Amino acid sequence: MDEVRVVVVDDVEDMAETLAVSLELDGYSVKTASSGAQALTVIEAYRPHCVLLDINMPGMGGCELSDRLRELYGDEVVLIAVTGWGDPGDRVSDTFSRFDHYIRKPFDPDLLRKVLPPVTA
């Protein structure tokens, strides 16, 4: 795999851009989306290997978007929740069961690198 394509979805555009720049510096090819609806369009056109999703977004949140992505692409795409949630309650466990991984905000770049598909030179 020469290029690893990633889509970052967050309604806080500064957060999405910051994460995108960090990933690009690591060699990933990155697109951003600021809503669930926009993400569906970007993902269909871009066909990423991995999608990083904010959970709490207005309109279509990360959980609904992850369900839609699983319907459309199955396990072809790695889904990573990027969220401020971290309480180990049942609601959180149910939410995170929809994703392959989750990372808490503020995100740890080293942890993120461990769960993303590797970039090859």
* DSSP secondary structure string for all residues of the chain: ----EEEEE-SSHHHHHHHHHHHHHTT-EEEEESSHHHHHHHHHHH--SEEEEES--SSS-HHHHHHHHHHHHTTSSEEEEEES----SHHHHHHHTTSSEEEESSP-HHHHHHHSPPPP-
pLDDT given for residue 116 in this prediction: 87
Q: Which tops the pLDDT comparison, 24 or 89?
A: 24
User: Residue 88 has what pLDDT?
Assistant: 53
pTM for the full model?
A: 0.89
Q: What is the pLDDT of residue 66?
A: 94
pLDDT band at 89 (very low <50, low <70, confident <90, very high): low
> Which domains, from first to last, does the chain contain?
5-114 (3.40.50.2300)
> What per-residue confidence (pLDDT) applies to 68?
95
Who wins on pLDDT, 93 or 79? Answer: 79
Backbone φ and ψ of 105, nearest 5°: -80, 145
